[in-house]
Structure 1
Amino acid sequence: MAPQRFAYVGTRTTRERDGQGQGIACFRAERDTWEQVSLTPAVNPGFLAVDAHRRVLHAAHGDHDYLTSYRIGDGGELHEVGRRHTEGTNPAHLALDPTGRFLLAANHTSGSAVAFPVEADGSLGGLCGKVQFTGEPGPHRSDQKGSKPHQVAFAPEGGVFLVPDKGLDTVFTCSLDPRSGQLDIQAATRLRQGSGPRHVAFHPALPVVYAVNELDNTVTVLHRHLASPELQPLQILPTMPERDVRDSRAAEVAVSPDGTTLYASNRSGAGDRTPGGPGEDTLAVYRIGDDGLLTLLQHASTGGIRPRFITLGPDNEALYAANERTGTIAALARDPEGALGAPRRIAQVGSPVCIVFFERL
């Protein structure tokens, strides 16, 4: 029997964020069609992480101060098993470490990253690690007043994770103690002033990492010194088409599992509270060379406005874009070279900002 695939979509729900969502929407995700099967009410479940081993989904509640863990039912429905305070405000991202023993979250507004042990039932234990980020803020007068960590991203080998800090124009290299869960900062790599690094993605085979920079719509290629925590910038490329003169901010970055293609999303508008548009937003598609450097392959339409999140599907045959402003999930088929086809709307949901998949055998 083929596994049953579910897609969970986190949404923005509050008036302050102009949220049109209602919580975490669950879809039965077939290759060509998505059918919504449940909705779990939640406040700004902006980023999600699935623990497939324990059949648990974790949610970070944007603009608030807590995480929620849910057990995944046979039909994809969610049952809350616990909450944890993040010892900070506005958790913008969370991730399980490669061993599944710890869950980390980035407190975007209060400038910290925190760690919690994962219990046998998938719920979170008490806080076991925390680091506070400091440094010289960037020049942007409203978005760079201090530290704004936006992600916790683990290296393929585990134990080491990166935190791109939009407020400090810095990517921090940090470590996780595999026994205690203690967190430490090992290095701070300053990127171009005013760039606003938001998210990073690791190459699956090369010692290279890619940072998507929100404030200047660029991607920075960085070399990883495996014997040292330092990162070395190698290349910077724009994510916007040359003839697109709209205000824009970059959002998400993804690398294909075979390491040949990189994708980055552009969100029209000068910030979250602007309407975006006019017209559909774009994805920048780059071919990755043998040395990890990038060459632009195409710009593809997302079929909507404000693609805050993108991800490759479990079979890597399509890329999915969450168009926050238009309330749509679009699927773009990938050809053998990694180029994207025309966007196809497969789901309608208010203010989508994250997509994660879960397969039930």
Structure 2
Amino acid sequence: MTQTLIIGGYTDRDDLPVGAASGLGLYQWRDDVASLVATVPVDNPTWFEWEARRRVLYVSQSSLTTLTAVAIPGDARSARVLDVIELGAVNPAHLALAPTGDAVVAACFTEGQVVTVALAEDGSFDGVRGRVDLATERNAEPHQISFGGSGFAVPDRARDEIHRFSWAAGSAPKLRGSDPQPAGRGPRHLARHPRREDIAYLAGELDSTVTALRAGAAGFEAAGSASTLPTGYEGENSVAAVFVDAAGTLYVSNRGHDSLASFDISDPLAPRPTGHLDAGGRTPRFAGEIAPGLIASAAMDSHSVDLIRDGRSRIRIAHGAPGCVRLIDLDAREA
């Protein structure tokens, strides 16, 4: 089976390796071999989501003020920039597609804003629909949009809070409340439990923790918490990615220890550390299961992506300052 591996990374760094792909690269993925097919001229494509019905990749551009829509109407070679929208807010570090299919929502980390952009039927942007400024009273650093239930959550690193927003098709989201976390935790991303709508896992960027959360009508309530670092480690570290794989193991990436910490969540509210997987390089900004049994670890400062099959075999791809990885099937058509 031939699929398309998409890797995006920072383009504004002065240490990008000569000869390696950079920016938004599309690779043919077949029999565990990746072959570069096309690159798309997008600056700092560091997070993106694929919308299969429209056949559009929606790209957020860290440190800039724009989102880009990349159409892929045929095979990977057909990829082209469809549209660009100015957000009026700095550093959209993350975006998510609304489950209703009519918008994308961006977390603008530096500006402290959550910006909603409407989508046209052809996949282009249809203007800014809503804007919530979280930094009106004090600094805010929203880092992720995580849809679940009747709305979405936004971890805020600066305020040590998780903001909760309502969501309805065709309307702008509204802030429903903010749930405080321990001072100095630095909430970065959260991952939903794959089978329990009432449970999520929060990555604490600044204190190197993962915390199980109960999600209810009244907000997020912390349950069990665990360190992402091995006993005795004394070096610098910050946490980045968090995800649960198809087998039910929780992972969190460590930047400094440069590992993927693993946790048993057979008791879903009490993550139990089980070990550390080598991230394959320095500063794993992104890590995630991109297909069952296949984990991608994007080592930003080593300019490489390791694809780890069933926790054992590895394929390494050179790519400049990688920040996001996706594996998609361009032959699949959704109605």
Q: Flag whether TM exceeds 0.5 (same fold).
A: yes
Matching residue of 1:215: 206
Q: What is the identity, as a one-letter code, of the residue corresponding to 2:287?
A: I
Using the TM superposition, give the Cα deviation of residue 257 of structure 1 relative to its aligned residue in structure 2, in angstroms: 3.9
Give the 4+ runs in structure 1 shifted more than 3 A.
18-22, 134-137
CA distance in 2, matches of 1:135, 1:318: 42
Do 2:75 and 2:330's aligned partners in 1 also have CA atoms closer than 8 Å? Answer: no
Q: Does 1:174 align with 2:165?
A: yes
Q: What is the identity, as a one-letter code, of the residue corresponding to 2:325?
A: I
Using the TM superposition, give the Cα deviation of residue 290 of structure 1 relative to its aligned residue in structure 2, in angstroms: 4.1
Q: What is the identity, as a one-letter code, of the residue corresponding to 2:152?
A: F
Q: Does 1:360 align with 2:314?
A: no
Q: Of 290, 294, 318, which aligns to 1:348?
A: 318
CA distance in 2, matches of 1:7, 1:303: 18
Closer, same or farther: CA 257–97 of 1 in aligned 2, 3 Å: farther
Q: Does 1:80 align with 2:50?
A: no
Using the TM superposition, give the Cα deviation of residue 229 of structure 1 relative to its aligned residue in structure 2, in angstroms: 4.1
Matching residue of 2:12: 14
Closer, same or farther: CA 235–292 of 1 in aligned 2, 3 Å: closer
CA deviations on 1:44-71 (whole Å, 9 max, x unpaired) are 1111111111110111111110101010
Do 1:34 and 1:347's aligned partners in 2 also have CA atoms closer than 8 Å? Answer: yes
Q: What is the identity, as a one-letter code, of the residue corresponding to 1:289?
A: S
Between the aligned residues of both structures, percent identity stands at 29
Closer, same or farther: CA 291–47 of 1 in aligned 2, 3 Å: closer
CA deviations on 1:300-335 (whole Å, 9 max, x unpaired) are 111211110011022x1121100111111112233x
Q: What is the identity, as a one-letter code, of the residue corresponding to 2:242?
A: V
Matching residue of 1:153: 146
Q: Does 1:297 align with 2:274?
A: yes
* Residue correspondence of structure 1 range 254-269 to structure 2 within 5 A: 254-257=243-246, 260-268=248-256
CA deviations on 1:254-288 (whole Å, 9 max, x unpaired) are 11246x211100011xxxxxxxxxxx711101111
CA distance in 1, matches of 2:108, 2:134: 10
CA distance in 1, matches of 2:179, 2:16: 34
Question: TM-score when scaled to structure 1?
Answer: 0.86
Q: Does 1:196 align with 2:173?
A: no
Question: Mean Cα displacement is larger for which, 230-239 or 288-297?
Answer: 288-297
Closer, same or farther: CA 135–169 of 1 in aligned 2, 3 Å: farther
Matching residue of 1:247: 236
The CA RMSD over aligned residues, in Å, is 1.8
Closer, same or farther: CA 31–317 of 1 in aligned 2, 3 Å: farther
CA distance in 1, matches of 2:223, 2:35: 43
CA distance in 1, matches of 2:232, 2:323: 27
CA distance in 2, matches of 1:8, 1:183: 30
CA deviations on 1:102-145 (whole Å, 9 max, x unpaired) are 111011111011111211111111111121214886xxxxxxxx
* Residue correspondence of structure 1 range 29-178 to structure 2 within 5 A: 29-77=29-77, 78-134=79-135, 146-155=139-148, 157=149, 159-178=150-169
Matching residue of 2:302: 326
Q: Does 1:288 align with 2:277?
A: no
Do 2:211 and 2:222's aligned partners in 1 also have CA atoms closer than 8 Å? Answer: yes
Q: What SS does the aligned partner of 1:325 have?
A: helix
Closer, same or farther: CA 100–31 of 1 in aligned 2, 3 Å: farther
CA distance in 2, matches of 1:297, 1:193: 26
Using the TM superposition, give the Cα deviation of residue 292 of structure 1 relative to its aligned residue in structure 2, in angstroms: 3.5
Q: What SS does the aligned partner of 1:35 have?
A: strand
Using the TM superposition, give the Cα deviation of residue 19 of structure 1 relative to its aligned residue in structure 2, in angstroms: 5.2
CA deviations on 1:316-355 (whole Å, 9 max, x unpaired) are 1121100111111112233xxxxx336x233111111101
Using the TM superposition, give the Cα deviation of residue 73 of structure 1 relative to its aligned residue in structure 2, in angstroms: 4.1
Q: What is the identity, as a one-letter code, of the residue corresponding to 2:13?
A: R
Q: What SS does the aligned partner of 2:207 have?
A: coil
CA distance in 2, matches of 1:151, 1:283: 20
Matching residue of 1:143: none
Matching residue of 2:284: 307
CA distance in 2, matches of 1:308, 1:173: 24
CA deviations on 1:162-202 (whole Å, 9 max, x unpaired) are 1000111111111122232x111112111111111111110
Question: TM-score when scaled to structure 2?
Answer: 0.92
CA distance in 1, matches of 2:105, 2:277: 33
CA distance in 1, matches of 2:293, 2:174: 38
Closer, same or farther: CA 42–211 of 1 in aligned 2, 3 Å: same
CA distance in 1, matches of 2:31, 2:260: 21
Structure 1 residues not aligned, in runs of 5+: 138-145, 269-279, 335-339
CA distance in 2, matches of 1:165, 1:232: 16
Closer, same or farther: CA 136–203 of 1 in aligned 2, 3 Å: farther
